[in-house]
Amino acid sequence: MLFQSIEFLIFLPIVFLLYWFVFKRLKYQNMLVLVASYIFYGWWNWRFLILIAITSGFSYWSGILIKKYETKPNKAKWISAGNIILNLLILCVFKYFNFFAESFVQLFNALGMHLDWASVSIILPVGISFYTFQALSYTIDVYRKKIEPTHDAIAFFAYISFFPQLVAGPIERSTNLLPQFQKERNFNCENGVSGLRQMLWGFFKKIVIADQCAKYVDVVFADYAAQNGSTLLLAVFLFSIQIYADFSGYSDIAIGTAKLFGIRLMRNFDNPYFSRDIAEFWRRWHISLTTWFRDYVYIPLGGSRVSKAKIVRNTFIIFLLSGFWHGANWTFIAWGAYHAILFLPLILLGKNRKYLTNIAENQWVPNVRELLQMLLTFVLVAFGWIFFRSATIGDAFLFISTIFNSSIIGPIMLVNGMNINILLIFILIMAFLEWFNRNGDFGFDIVKWNVVFRHLFYYALLFLILLYIAENESFIYFQF
């Protein structure tokens, strides 16, 4: 079920009313969340429910068994490892089987040993990477004794499948989200209004900006060899905006929806394109994933408290894993390696935590140095998105070589009869609002406007959303 679908528009108010006015007790509220989440997820394909139920069931029992055998460390360790391996095996089979099979065949063909091994076509269950990592977080946290295992199966299954963030995050920690399903929740009108406002902002970014960027980007990338450099350059810029507006828009809708049910989800984006270096960018981009790899992979490997050689190793491991997490394609691995190379000098020089506050703090505009840093960081990130968006590594390099030739000064070719100027105005509006609200949780979180003007602004956003809405445009990160 898509957030921007008619079905969701009907589904959400029904669940909201039942949640607060019919199922008032905690146990029944959690049961309603669980049923609603399975309906929401099963709307794509009911067979996907089998996988999420298996992941939830084994993770639930592993937590109980780890606690039971805590006086027998080896047994607890094997139980924890067994559940982790099982979940990763399910993830690898459904997400990476074809990739490994095809790569294996290509390797042997390159060595002159021709194999005819037809890969099995496996449908990728929506959001499997997200809820798998959420389940792994619980098992690891119980093993590390950061959280007590729950015996409330309904609360646990609701934690794994909570529908607002089920298919594209944020990837919640068990220490944050699970306890919220174990204590009474009371409706807070102010929190609910904040949630609706954040959802409105998320829909604006997704439908009015991301989906309109996609109309240009998809056409250009599909036939990049026939385009000139300036057209490709614009496509790279628009894709950079598209992926941010699409994914952060989803996160805003998810976080806002959760607020309606008295649940607080972690922030997933913190104005990443206002960063002054790559390290700051990664503290602000897809925060739930980057902190997951930091806490469960980077730090256990020794983090930055090891030799320089191991720091290099650890940095490449987390970035390559991050790339591979995004999909079964060498382009994602190349994208991860590219960011590791950019990140490495900062961490080796001890400058990776240089910028921990917002840019131009307590000022209206950045100074010249900050502006140049921000522009350079954006250019470096945008360049990396070429690998992320391309079908193959060869396509990415050819795309880049086509940009950097004499045609880069040629006229930009418009596609689909689009009026790029209007789209650029919307992008500027988004950037303007997020810049002046960079201390808030979302685009117009802390703006203090006149009541009349504020409501006119809400209606203007709603009008644009209804004008541009198209139900067939799913979120980019559904594929991951």
Task: Quote the longest CA-to-CA distance of the chain.
Answer: 73
> What would the two tokens of residue 271 be?
């104005």
Q: Which of 291, 277, 274 is nearest to 342 (CA)?
A: 277
Q: Residue 114 catalytic? A: no
**Catalytic option among 114, 286, 326, 339:** 326
CA dist., res. 8 & res. 293, Å (int): 32
- Dihedral (Cα; 82, 83, 87, 93), 10-degree rounding: 20
Report CA torsion sign: 292, 293, 299, 301: positive
Residues identified as active-site: 326
